[in-house]
């Protein structure tokens, strides 16, 4: 999936993921109001239909209401984005990415060790 | 096929007339009526171009009927002349066949002409339409390739605001595109507004959105394509392009009007400024048919700006006048009318057409046989110088071995054949002299069909016989020709007696052999009688001898009685002019079955 999700579309996706992968239009609007962001009805509809076109969402009709179902989980989306980021920025070289993370103290040495033990356990 | 072309042409003329009328009245309404009205009034013209609905008597309809009858009077004599002109050379060798061929070609000629026209028309209409569609699709592809969705929530909210104001439910897509310099809208059902890739202030944006959304709400795309279809159908009509131009012009004017009415009078100047800012930057990819753009060109903009500044709300009285004006134009729509194929509903027309074409062929062939009368075998009986002579003519001589050449009174030589029963008379000088006299006489009075190659089937000297006994004998023996030969000897009272006798005995063959001796009064008496008694065969025997006014009387009677089958019998005996009068009358009275039999005969 080469399609990219824009920032405002991602806001909507996050609401749906948080809601367990499916959300009614009314639920989405409620969540948006909690964030105090002023999104107009048609704005949200346009963004949702864009997500539908990009195949990140499916629309289910429940009576007269629309239910939006995410076709990818948040984890899948993160993996996809990480891969595309890795390819774009580091040319697919993970070592360079990790060294940047370490050098910038984004990843502490303890955290790295933790990951190493997790990795060994996984392979046993 | 010819009907289709006529309908098409009539629609073209009709539409053009209505177009010119509305254009001509422009000074009256230009600054008074709303721009919206000035835009939608063209739908009436577009529909006049496209819809073949019409009522009975319309301007264009009657115009086309006149052309019709003119064509008929021109066509029929020529088709008659052709076989006659060719005939003398070919009459002896297979006259019927050559005639049929000639007829077939004369018949196909006008038919082919219409098929040709139809194909030229439809090919060009199709090519034009396909071209327009592909240009549109290519434009859409070109635009879509450069589109970037606008994700800025502020701008999207601005669009949503505008949609709410205009009561538009569906979200309209919003994109930015570096390939265009002026905002446009594309798409029919899921429209997208496409902005140029430059920074736009929120006020400018709201004007753009309002303008484009009004286009969307009024379904201007469909209107434009309706006009494009009319242009394809009537590609040969220059007025249809004028219509396209007017619609595009008034479309923008009325859209501006709507924007200012919605956003308020105060926005006039800013809205005008926005328009000017976009007209400077011409689009690289120009295609006015493909989309609804914001601005089309500088020359148009001047008019638009002027119109925007002048814009006032229309008073009630103007609204009333507009309504009346519209109503009268709709009447003009109906009055302009179109040519209607005589009375049949649409689907039937083609089928009907095919059938009538076939029927034409048949009737033409029978006409050709009529023309062929010259070479048709004819037989008759004569009483001449006490000889009863039965003679046929226009035969193929090979069947008869006995022949002689007679020198007629005008000095010409005629070959005469004798059948087995009459060949002994070749040596009988009296019989030959009588035959010569008879032939000279018949040639003199110019008998129809003209005598050529006669054959004497019977020749009897009856000078010593009792004529009335012989007549009775012939009658009993069924010798029609002998009987009719002796009939001429009777006085009027005697003839009348026989008429009644033959009529009562139902012997049509005898009757038709002696009709020639009847006067007009007698013919009308017996024709009426035959009609009342339902003796159709007798009645039709009279038709050849009836005077035109008598034919007319019967035709009128059957027409009034709605008796198509009897009416149809009369048609071939009417003059062409009379047939055409009936045709018009049948059409006016909507008597379809009469119309059909009449037109079958005429065309």
Asked if residues B293 and B248 have their Cβ atoms less than 8 Å apart, the reply is: no
* Chain B positions in Cβ-Cβ contact with residue A7 (cut-off 8 Å): 151
What is the pairing mode between strands B455-461 and B387-393? antiparallel
Report the DSSP beta bridge partners of residue B384: B387
Residue B347 has pLDDT above 50, yes or no: no
pLDDT in tens, B406-456: 888 777 888 888 877 777 777 778 888 888 888 888 777 766 667 777 888
What the block records as the tokens of B383 is 């009483």
**pLDDT tens-place string over residues B556-582:** 888 888 888 888 888 888 888 888 888
- Is B153 within 8 Å of A37 when comparing Cβ atoms? yes
Residue in chain A lying closest to B162 (CA)? A42
Confidence of residue B128 (pLDDT cuts 50, 70, 90): very high
Cα–chain-centroid distance for residue B122?
A: 18
What is the spatial order of strands in the sheet that A22-24 belongs to?
A22-24, A65-70, A57-62
Q: What is the SS3 string spanning A12-66?
A: HHHHHHHCCCEEEHHHHHHHHHHCCCCCCHHHHHHHHHHHHHCCCEEEEEECCEE
Residue among A6, A43, A50 minimizing CB distance to B160: A43
Instruction: In whole angstroms, give the CA distance from residue B377 to residue B367.
Output: 16
Per mean pLDDT, which range of B184-193, B239-248, B299-308 is the poorest? Answer: B299-308
Most confident of B31-35, B43-47, B63-67, B324-328: B43-47
Rounded average pLDDT over B340-364: 44
Residues of chain A neighbouring B168 (CB-CB closer than 8 A): 42
- The pLDDT, as a whole number, for residue B248 is 86
Closest to B386 measured CA to CA, from B519, B520, B486, B270:
B486
The yes-or-no verdict on residue B88 having pLDDT over 60 is no
Question: For A50, which of B149, B161, B172 is closest by C-beta distance?
Answer: B149
Mean pLDDT computed over every residue of chain B: 76
Q: Looking at residue B341, what DSSP letter applies? A: -
The backbone torsions φ and ψ at residue B196, rounded to the nearest 5 degrees and listed phi first, read: -70, 160
pLDDT digit string, tens, across residues B179-222:
887 888 888 878 889 888 888 888 888 888 988 899 888 888 88
A66 at B interface, C-beta within 8 A: no
Q: Which residue of A has its CA nearest to B164?
A: A42
Residue of higher predicted confidence among B69 and B568: B568
- Confidence class for position B239, pLDDT limits 50, 70, 90: very high
Highest averaged pLDDT of the listed ranges B79-88, B170-179, B370-379: B170-179
Of the listed ranges A4-18, B219-233, B292-306, B538-552, the one predicted with least confidence: B292-306
A4 and chain B in contact, CB less than 8 A: no
Option in B157, B168, B170 nearest A43 (CB): B157
Q: What percent of chain B has pLDDT over 70?
A: 78
Residue B294's pLDDT is what? 58
Cβ–Cβ contact A39 with B under 8 A: yes
Question: If you average pLDDT over residues B4-15, what whole number do you get?
Answer: 87
Cα distance from B172 to chain A (closest Cα, Å)?
7
Q: What share of chain B is helix, strand, coil (3-state, %, to 5)?
A: 70, 10, 25
CA angle B305, B306, B310 (to 5 degrees): 115
Distance from the Cα of A20 to chain B's closest Cα (Å) equals 25
Residue B474's CB is within 10 A of a number of other CB atoms, namely 21
Give the confidence band of B130 by pLDDT, cuts at 50, 70, 90: very high
pLDDT class of B296 with cuts at 50, 70, 90: low
% pLDDT > 90, chain A: 0
Is there a contact between B160 and A41 if contact means CB atoms under 8 Å apart?
yes
B230 pLDDT band, cuts 50/70/90, is very high
Q: List pLDDT tens digits, range B480-496.
A: 887 878 777 787 888 88
pLDDT of residue B341: 55
Token duo for residue B309: 């500044």
Task: For A74-102, write each residue's pLDDT tens digit.
Answer: 888 988 888 888 888 888 888 888 888 88
How does DSSP classify residue B173?
E
Any idea which of A107-116, B116-125, B304-313 has the lowest mean pLDDT?
A: B304-313
Q: How would you class B93 by CB atoms within 10 Å of its CB: exposed for 0-12, middle for 13-18, buried for 19 or more?
A: exposed
Please report the pLDDT score of residue B386 as a whole number.
78
Question: What are B's interface residues with A at a Cβ cutoff of 8 A?
Answer: 149, 151, 153, 156-157, 159-161, 163-164, 168, 170-174
pLDDT of residue B147: 86
pLDDT band with cut points at 50, 70 and 90 for residue B371: very low
Q: Which domains does chain A have, with CATH numbers?
A: 7-70 (1.10.10.10), 74-123 (no CATH)
Regarding predicted confidence, which is higher, B107 or B518? B518
Nearest C-alpha in B relative to A10: B151
Between A39 and B352, the higher pLDDT residue: A39
- The residue length of chain B stands at 603
Cβ contact B432:B426 at 8 Å = yes
The dihedrals phi and psi of A94, each to the nearest 5 degrees, come to -70, -35
Is residue B79 over pLDDT 50?
Answer: no
| Domain boundaries defined on chain B | 368-602
A54 Cβ under 8 Å from any chain B Cβ:
no
**Contact at CB, B159 and A43, closer than 8 angstroms:** yes
Whether pLDDT at B127 is above 90: yes
Residue A110's pLDDT band, with cuts at 50, 70 and 90, is confident
**ipTM of this complex prediction, to 2 decimal places:** 0.77
**What does DSSP assign to residue A4?**
-
CA A41/CA B162 separation, integer angstroms: 12
pLDDT of residue B4: 83
Return the minimum-mean-pLDDT range out of A3-7, B202-206, B460-464.
Answer: B460-464
Q: Is A9 on the interface with B (CB under 8 A)?
A: yes
Q: What is the 3-state secondary structure (H, E, C) of B403-444?
A: EEEEECCCCCEEEEEECCCCHHHHHCHHHHHHHHHHHHHHHH
Whole-number pLDDT of residue B89: 42
Nearest CA in chain B to A39: B157
- Closest Cβ opposite residue A42 in set B149, B151, B163: B163
Question: Quick check: A1 pLDDT over 70?
Answer: no
């Amino acid at each position: 999936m080469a399609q990219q999700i824009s920032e405002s579309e991602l806001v909507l996706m996050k609401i749906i993921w948080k809601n367990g992968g499916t959300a009614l239009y009314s639920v989405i609007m409620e969540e948006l109001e909690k964030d105090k962001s002023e999104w107009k009805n048609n704005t949200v509809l346009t963004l949702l239909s864009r997500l539908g076109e990009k195949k990140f969402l499916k629309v289910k009709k429940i009576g007269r209401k629309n239910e939006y179902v995410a076709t990818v989980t948040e984890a899948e989306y993160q993996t996809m984005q990480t891969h595309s980021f890795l390819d774009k920025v580091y040319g697919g070289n993970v070592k360079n990415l990790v060294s940047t993370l370490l050098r910038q103290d984004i990843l502490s040495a303890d955290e790295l060790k933790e990951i190493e033990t997790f990795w060994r356990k996984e392979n046993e | 096929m010819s009907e289709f072309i006529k309908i098409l042409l009539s629609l073209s003329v009709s539409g053009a007339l209505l177009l010119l009328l509305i254009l001509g009245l422009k000074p009256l309404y230009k600054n008074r009526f709303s721009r919206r009205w000035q835009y939608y009034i063209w739908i009436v013209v577009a529909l006049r171009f496209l819809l073949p609905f019409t009522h009975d008597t319309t301007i264009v309809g009657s115009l086309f009927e006149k052309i019709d009858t003119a064509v008929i009077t021109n066509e029929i004599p020529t088709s008659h002349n052709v076989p006659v002109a060719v005939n003398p050379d070919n009459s002896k060798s297979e006259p019927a066949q050559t005639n049929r061929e000639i007829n077939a070609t004369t018949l196909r000629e006008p038919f082919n002409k219409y098929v040709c026209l139809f194909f030229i028309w439809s090919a060009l209409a199709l090519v034009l339409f396909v071209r327009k569609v592909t240009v549109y699709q290519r434009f859409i592809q070109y635009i879509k390739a450069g589109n970037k969705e606008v994700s800025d929530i502020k701008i999207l909210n601005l669009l949503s605001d505008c949609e709410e104001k205009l009561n538009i439910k569906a979200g309209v897509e919003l994109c930015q595109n570096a390939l265009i310099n002026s905002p446009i809208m594309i798409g029919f059902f899921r429209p997208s507004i496409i902005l140029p890739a430059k920074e736009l202030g929120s006020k400018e944006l709201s004007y753009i959105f309002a303008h484009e959304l009004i286009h969307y709400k009024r379904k201007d795309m469909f209107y434009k394509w309706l006009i494009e279809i009319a242009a394809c159908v009537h590609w040969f009509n220059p007025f249809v392009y004028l219509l396209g131009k007017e619609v595009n012009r008034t479309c923008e004017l009325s859209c501006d009007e709507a924007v200012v009415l919605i956003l308020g009078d105060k926005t006039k100047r800013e809205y005008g400024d926005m328009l000017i800012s976009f007209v400077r930057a011409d689009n690289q990819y120009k295609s006015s048919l493909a989309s609804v753009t914001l601005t089309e060109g500088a020359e148009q903009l001047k008019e638009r700006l002027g119109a925007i500044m002048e814009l006032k709300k229309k008073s009630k009285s103007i609204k009333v006048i507009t309504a009346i004006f519209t109503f009268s134009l709709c009447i003009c729509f109906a009055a302009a009318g179109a040519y209607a194929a005589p009375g049949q509903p649409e689907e039937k027309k083609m089928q009907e057409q095919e059938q009538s074409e076939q029927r034409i062929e048949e009737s033409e062939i029978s006409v050709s046989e009529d023309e062929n009368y010259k070479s048709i075998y004819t037989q008759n009986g004569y009483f001449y110088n006490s000889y009863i002579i039965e003679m046929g003519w226009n035969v193929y001589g090979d069947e008869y071995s006995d022949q002689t050449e007679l020198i007629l009174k005008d000095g010409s030589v005629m070959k005469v054949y004798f059948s087995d029963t009459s060949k002994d008379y070749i040596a009988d000088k009296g019989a030959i002299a009588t035959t010569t006299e008879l032939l000279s006489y018949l040639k003199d009075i110019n008998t129809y069909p003209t005598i050529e190659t006669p054959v004497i089937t019977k020749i009897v000297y009856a000078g010593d016989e009792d004529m009335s006994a012989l007549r009775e004998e012939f009658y009993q023996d069924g010798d029609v020709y002998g009987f009719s030969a002796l009939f001429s000897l009777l006085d009027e009272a005697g003839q009348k007696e026989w008429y009644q006798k033959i009529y009562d005995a139902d012997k049509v063959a005898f009757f038709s052999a002696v009709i020639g001796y009847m006067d007009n009064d007698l013919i009308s008496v017996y024709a009426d009688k035959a009609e009342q008694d339902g003796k159709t065969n007798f009645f039709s025997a009279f038709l050849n001898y009836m005077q035109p006014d008598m034919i007319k009387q019967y035709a009128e009677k059957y027409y009034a009685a709605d008796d198509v089958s009897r009416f149809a019998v009369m048609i071939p005996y009417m003059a062409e002019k009379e047939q055409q009068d009936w045709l018009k009358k049948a059409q006016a009275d909507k008597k379809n079955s009469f119309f059909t039999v009449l037109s079958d005969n005429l065309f």
